[in-house]
């Protein structure tokens, strides 16, 4: 593993998008065998990064693991990948759904927010327990550079709930959405449902994806106060029509 850990200074100005991208490409070209990289980005930005990296690093075998539901044993999921030995770089998308599912499960059995968001082992999503406990096996058994593409709230989950695993990272990269694209995505997220039946027609999985999508947009840098307010309103409506009245009053996802 190439483990040149970068200590990020919260007070330092963010890198320009192209500079950050070139730093990511250099890290991926340099990696050989097991490595961990984390990329803070929106799902849409993650897809653009994957496409661009595949074009810029054709000499590497690059695969994408797209998750759309909760995962409990991430190690087994990787172990069962076809042609795993040939993979150099594996992008992972959608791990944040496991964190959202964890919150929903604990709330359904009566946990209060202080228990759900506590930092004890009792309050850790199963997938992060698995990553913490299996980190040596990841290093010893998988000659893969894992690139986790996750939104901001998921990075916070890793930092606070899986510190042993997260501390093995060699780098953390941050990509904010282009302001024009951010505005378009935010408007679309708020206008896709116009009628009561649109909300009622959503399946639990669809509602989960929409809630995570909206939380990601809320967390993006560059949001106007007006647009953020509209996103919070849409988030509240999704919770309301799911019968989650407490969350509708204060609709946030917190690590």
- Which DSSP string do the residues of 167-182 spell out, in sequence order? TT-SEEEE-PPPHHHH
Q: For residue 114, what pLDDT is reported?
A: 52
More confident residue, 242 or 115: 242
Q: Rounded to an integer, what distance in angstroms lies between the CA atom of residue 174 and that of residue 87?
A: 24
Q: What is the mean pLDDT of residues 1-20?
A: 57
Going by C-alpha positions, the residue among 108, 97, 104 that lies closest to residue 70 is 97
How many CB atoms are closer than 10 A to CB 52?
Answer: 13
How many CB atoms are closer than 10 A to CB 107?
Answer: 16
Q: Kindly give, in sequence order, each residue whose CB lies less than 8 Å from that of residue 200, ignoring residues fewer than 6 positions away.
A: 241
pLDDT band at 4 (very low <50, low <70, confident <90, very high): very low
> In the numeric block, which tokens belong to residue 33?
């065998």
Lowest mean pLDDT among 54-63, 131-140, 211-220: 211-220
The CA–CA distances, whole Å, from 154 to 8, 109, 212 equal 17, 23, 10
pLDDT higher than threshold 60 for residue 115: no
Structural element, H or E, at residue 157:
helix 152-161
pLDDT higher than threshold 80 for residue 91: yes
Q: For residue 88, what pLDDT is reported?
A: 97
State pLDDT tens for residues 162-210: 888 888 888 999 998 777 888 888 888 888 777 788 878 888 878 877 8
Q: Is pTM, for the whole model, over 0.85?
A: no
Cα 108 to chain centroid, rounded: 23
**128 phi-psi bin (left φ>0, alpha ψ -120 to 50, beta other):** alpha
> In the numeric block, which tokens belong to residue 67?
């998750």
**Mean pLDDT of all residues in the chain?**
81
In the chain, which segments carry CATH 3.40.50? 17-174
More confident residue, 100 or 28: 28
- Do the Cβ atoms of 12 and 186 come closer than 8 Å? no
Q: For residue 197, what pLDDT is reported?
A: 81
Is CATH 3.40.1170 the right assignment for the domain spanning 17-174?
A: no
- Packing angle, helices 152-161 and 126-133, rounded to 10: 50
pLDDT band at 29 (very low <50, low <70, confident <90, very high): very high
What is the share, in percent, of the chain residues with pLDDT greater than 70?
81
């Amino acid at each position: 593993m190439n483990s040149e850990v970068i200590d990020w200074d919260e007070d330092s100005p963010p890198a320009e998008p192209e500079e950050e991208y070139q730093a990511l490409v250099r890290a991926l070209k340099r990696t050989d065998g097991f490595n961990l990289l984390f990329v803070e980005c929106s799902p849409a930005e993650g897809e653009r990064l994957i496409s661009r990296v595949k074009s810029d690093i054709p000499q590497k075998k690059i695969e994408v693991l797209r998750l759309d539901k909760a995962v409990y044993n991430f190690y087994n999921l990787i172990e069962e990948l076809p042609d795993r030995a040939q993979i150099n770089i594996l992008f992972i998308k959608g791990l944040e759904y496991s964190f959202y599912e964890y919150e929903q499960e604990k709330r359904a059995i009566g946990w209060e927010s202080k228990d759900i968001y506590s930092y004890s082992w009792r309050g850790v999503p199963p997938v992060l327990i698995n990553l913490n406990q299996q980190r040596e096996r990841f290093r010893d058994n998988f000659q893969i550079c894992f690139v986790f593409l996750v939104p901001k709230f998921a990075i916070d989950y890793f930092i606070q709930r899986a510190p042993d695993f997260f501390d093995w990272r060699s780098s953390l990269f941050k990509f904010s959405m282009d302001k024009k694209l951010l505005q378009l995505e935010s408007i679309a997220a708020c206008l896709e449902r116009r009628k009561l039946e649109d909300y009622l027609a959503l399946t639990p999985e669809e509602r989960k994806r929409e809630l995570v999508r909206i939380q990601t947009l809320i967390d993006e840098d560059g949001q106007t106060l007006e647009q953020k307010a509209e996103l919070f309103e849409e988030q509240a409506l999704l919770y309301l029509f799911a019968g989650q009245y407490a969350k509708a009053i204060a609709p946030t996802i917190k690590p």
